Amino acid sequence: MSKINDFFNKIRHNYYVIAKVVAFLVAIALVCWLMPRTGKFKYEYQLSKPWPHETLYAPFDFPIYKDYETLNAETEAAASKVKPIFVFNEDEMTAARNALFNAFDARWADKDPAYREQNLNELFAIYDSIENRGIVAYDNATSNLAPEDEVNIVRSKVMRTARYGDFYSMNGATEAVTRMLGHYDGHSDKKLLSELLTGALRQNVFYDADLTKQATEKAVSAVSLTYGMVQKDEIIVSEGAVVDAHTYNVLNSLQREYTSRSMSSDDSLRVLLSQIFLVGLVFSLMGLYGNKLHKKVFAELRNIVLLLTLMLMIVLPSFVLVRFAPGLIYMMPVCLLAIMVGSFFNLRLAFSTQVFAVMLISLVVPNPFLFIFMQLVATVLTVFSMSNTRAHHRFIQAALFVFVGYLLVYVAFTFLSTSEVDWYDVLLLLLNALFTLLAQPLILMFERIFGVTTSLSLMELSNTNTPLLRQLAATAPGTFQHSIQVANLCEEVLFEIGGDTLLARTGALYHDVGKIKNPMYFTENQHGAYSPHNDLTNVESAEIIISHVTDGIELAHKNHVPERIIDFIRTHHGTRQTDYFYINEKKAHPDEEIDPTPFTYHGPAPFSRETAVLMMADSIEAASHSLKDPDEKKISDLVDGIIDKQMEAGQFLNTDLTLRDIETCRKVLKKKLMSIYHVRIAYPEK
């Protein structure tokens, strides 16, 4: 029993390493599964060219498979007819309803009991009306749905069709509360009911990706792969006849069937075992190389999964091409892998990953030596062309280098074999180079899937002419200028302590976009002595100030800002308090115990050095505007006081900042502020 416990303890303590190994094993399994294990079809043929062999008769009955374009079109048509599936969460609604009842009882305790029942009935009439209709949760997968689009909703194990617009959004539900309360008169405590309902409403309609995927897979699997049969001894193509589109498809189908039948079970097993060994060897070398020379990358499971996914994205389609159209293998954009790995990680890892991928593909291509030589030359040129990682034209430059590398090697090998240059092959190489231009959209796609952000996206997001930043500049100009100053400070600090300066700059530009909703409630956007907070309670003011974080997250999601940037919005105030209104509330009620919760940001606290530096720079830049006649001492005291207070509040505990790093942050921030305010350093007297 103790040995079993020890075994499970080891698994529990090493689950992350086990997960990495499993990722490699899955990759090995996929490669071995799709790798061709049969003999090669002995006939060569091309579309719209004469059949150069003797008349071909069907050696056995076989189906005619649909070509890729037809099958793909039918599959996409079947998948597009599947409606997204949403699930109604009854438990969420019931729990929130019970909590609402308890909250009402607690708030009504000091009010007139005569009107309790009336208000309670009105409260639940509105709540049940909204929640029964459903409040849909935001999901990136369904963000493009229009109100009139039909969806399937599962409630109480019964599926029905509804329009997406039939459900409330959270904002729509809040507006519905206000609208419904307007219909009540008399002794309704509308303010109380509005507060209770706004706090109690819960999203209870959730997009179910698994059910939708199952429905899509079912619809796609129903699409037939074939559209006819060829009988044994039937003439497929006569000698000298032109291979038209139909004949070409029949020949492809015969090749597919021929290769699947050409080996005995013993031979197939032997080939499979050999392939498992060779593929396992390649991935093992890749793992050893990565753990030795790229420890930071291979320390994260997400990075390994991304790396393997990019590799399989090139290797597996290459196997498909070799199986069904081996003549088109040189059209496969293998160098796309090096471009994408270089964009996500670094160029050294890009080169090595490309080499391992080429080793795998070379196991099945018709002329492996030529293939390997061409790919290695193209890989070196690709890595060289990608050295300027922040230039927008680098993808075009890489495509040009790839084509030139392929063409030179192809021409050299052609002359070596005393053959003539086939312009059809040159066209394939040109298409190969053009396909590498897909790197940019593919990078954006993988950024969304894996939650990573490349320098390409950060550069685009940091452009102050993006719609969201333009809206911030127009609606809250003071906040916009503050964000630019904070971005400059973050960039300077991270340049000194080490970190992603472009990421921090971009995050700083977006950290206060939530102030677009209520710009005049923030001092940097106010003009004159009047402040709208004068007409609000301290709790209401704190709620508006705190809400700029959640408003910013919502705006960022609507504008498709990456999660890495949204993290800066979430964490730039951490779990601190709105001290000004909290202190005012305590002064206004000196004899009461004030609950700090309404005055506290929801967090979380910063969890990276970039988000931690933003918190420092944001608070210090904002506070520096309150300094009168700033000098070296005032600036130094301000910086030290704010950072000390943030450290005491435990805001940097989840980051990897050292005390040395924080000390460097202080020095850089003081130096930059003195430059901004033109403060001279006070030299000691002789």
- pLDDT of 6: 64
Sheet holding 205-207, edge to edge: 158-163, 150-155, 85-88, 205-207
| pLDDT surpassing 90 at residue 615 | yes
- Among 429, 450, 471, the domain-final residue is 450
Angle at 459 between CA 492 and CA 397, to 5 degrees: 120
Q: What DSSP state is assigned to residue 87? A: E
Provide the residue type at 215 as one letter: A
Crossing angle of the two packed helices 394-416 and 423-435, in degrees rounded to 10: 160
Tell me, yes or no, whether 310 and 423 share the same domain: yes
Going by pLDDT thresholds of 50, 70 and 90, the confidence category of residue 178 is: confident
| pLDDT surpassing 70 at residue 677 | yes
Greatest Cα pair distance in the chain = 109
Q: Are strands 205-207 and 85-88 parallel, antiparallel or unpaired?
A: antiparallel
For the residues 522-547, what does the mean pLDDT come to? 86
Note whether residue 632 is domain-resident. yes
Tell me, yes or no, whether 492 and 614 share the same domain: yes
Please state which of the ranges 136-145, 396-405, 408-417, 564-573 shows the lowest mean pLDDT: 408-417
- Which H/E stretch holds residue 667? helix 659-676
Q: What DSSP state is assigned to residue 162? A: E
- pLDDT of 42: 60
Q: Within 10 Å of residue 248's Cβ, how many Cβ atoms?
A: 18
Look at residue 575 and give its three-state secondary structure.
coil
The overall average pLDDT reported for the chain is: 85
Number of domains in the chain: 3
Say how far apart CA 684 and CA 439 lie, in whole Å.
58
CA distances from 36 to 45, 71, 89, 554, 617 (A): 20, 21, 47, 48, 58
Tell me, yes or no, whether 295 and 400 share the same domain: yes
Say how far apart CA 503 and CA 19 lie, in whole Å.
29
Note whether residue 35 is domain-resident. no
| pLDDT surpassing 90 at residue 359 | yes
pTM for the full predicted model: 0.54
Short-list 169, 89, 177, CA closest to 126? 177
Note whether residue 430 is domain-resident. yes
For the residues 656-677, what does the mean pLDDT come to? 91
Q: Within 10 Å of residue 447's Cβ, how many Cβ atoms?
A: 20
Note whether residue 72 is domain-resident. no
Tell me, yes or no, whether 367 and 479 share the same domain: no
| pLDDT surpassing 60 at residue 65 | yes
Say how far apart CA 26 and CA 37 lie, in whole Å.
19
Q: What is the pLDDT of residues 113-168, one digit of tens each?
A: 777 888 888 888 888 888 888 888 888 888 888 889 899 999 888 889 999 888 98
For the residues 451-470, what does the mean pLDDT come to? 84
Q: Is-contact 37 272, C-beta < 8 A? A: yes
Note whether residue 277 is domain-resident. no
- pLDDT of 681: 53
Q: Is-contact 401 429, C-beta < 8 A? A: no
Short-list 424, 374, 361, 445, CA closest to 403? 374
Q: Token pair 């061709």 is at which residue?
A: 36
Going by pLDDT thresholds of 50, 70 and 90, the confidence category of residue 579 is: confident
Tell me, yes or no, whether 402 and 551 share the same domain: no
Say how far apart CA 264 and CA 268 lie, in whole Å.
6
- Which H/E stretch holds residue 205? strand 205-207
Please state which of the ranges 4-18, 266-280, 348-362, 420-434 shows the lowest mean pLDDT: 4-18
Question: Using a CB cutoff of 8 Å and minimum separation of 24, what contacts does 299-306 make?
Answer: 301/16, 301/19, 301/20, 301/23, 302/450, 302/451, 302/452, 303/345, 304/20, 304/23, 304/24, 305/23, 305/450, 306/344, 306/446, 306/450, 306/452
65 forms bridges with which residues in the sheet?
A: 226
**Measured on CA atoms in the order 361, 366, 369, 371, is the torsion positive or negative?**
negative
Angle at 362 between CA 356 and CA 366, to 5 degrees: 170
Angle at 416 between CA 431 and CA 405, to 5 degrees: 35
Q: Is-contact 149 132, C-beta < 8 A? A: no
577 forms bridges with which residues in the sheet?
A: 600
**What's phi and psi for 113, nearest 5 deg?**
-65, -20
Please state which of the ranges 183-187, 576-580, 603-607 shows the lowest mean pLDDT: 183-187
User: Is residue 604 reached through a cis peptide bond, with omega within 30 degrees of 0 on the bond before it?
Assistant: yes
Q: Is-contact 242 50, C-beta < 8 A? A: yes
Tell me, yes or no, whether 323 and 461 share the same domain: no
Short-list 52, 48, 55, CA closest to 235? 55
Beta-carbon contacts of 78 under 8 Å, excluding residues fewer than 6 positions away, are: 219, 220, 222, 223
Look at residue 531 and give its three-state secondary structure.
coil
- Among 160, 186, 218, the domain-final residue is 218
For the residues 586-598, what does the mean pLDDT come to? 85
- Among 201, 218, 235, the domain-final residue is 218
Note whether residue 78 is domain-resident. no
Three-state SS letters, 370-433 = HHHHHHHHHHHHHHHHCCCCCCCCHHHHHHHHHHHHHHHHHHHHHHHCCCCCCHHHHHHHHHHH
Tell me, yes or no, whether 588 and 609 share the same domain: yes
Short-list 401, 360, 392, 358, CA closest to 376? 358
Please state which of the ranges 379-388, 558-567, 603-612 shows the lowest mean pLDDT: 379-388
| pLDDT surpassing 50 at residue 683 | no
Say how far apart CA 105 and CA 116 lie, in whole Å.
9
| pLDDT surpassing 60 at residue 685 | no
**What's phi and psi for 179, nearest 5 deg?**
-65, -45
Tell me, yes or no, whether 581 and 611 share the same domain: yes
% of the chain with per-residue pLDDT over 90 = 28
- pLDDT of 413: 78
On the CB side of 175, CA atoms within 13 Å amount to 5
Note whether residue 1 is domain-resident. no
> Averaging pLDDT over each range in 73-77, 462-466, 471-475, 673-677, which range is the top one?
471-475
The CATH number covering residue 498 comes to 1.10.3210
CA distances from 498 to 101, 232, 405, 501, 655 (A): 53, 71, 37, 8, 13
- pLDDT of 388: 57
Tell me, yes or no, whether 522 and 662 share the same domain: yes
How is 443-508 classified by DSSP, letter by letter?
A: HHHHHHHHT---HHHHHHHT-TTSHHHHHHHHH-HHHHHHHHHHHHHHHHHHHHH-S-HHHHHHHH
- pLDDT of 261: 62
Tell me, yes or no, whether 486 and 613 share the same domain: yes
Tell me, yes or no, whether 551 and 618 share the same domain: yes
Tell me, yes or no, whether 408 and 504 share the same domain: no
Note whether residue 571 is domain-resident. yes
**Measured on CA atoms in the order 531, 536, 538, 543, is the torsion positive or negative?**
negative
Short-list 521, 539, 541, 540, CA closest to 531? 521
Q: Are strands 56-57 and 235-237 parallel, antiparallel or unpaired?
A: antiparallel
Q: Is 109 left (phi over 0), alpha (psi -120 to 50) or beta?
A: alpha
Say how far apart CA 368 and CA 374 lie, in whole Å.
10
Q: Is-contact 426 410, C-beta < 8 A? A: yes
- pLDDT of 140: 85
What domain range includes position 118? Answer: 85-218
Q: How far does Cα 450 stand from its chain's mean position?
A: 5
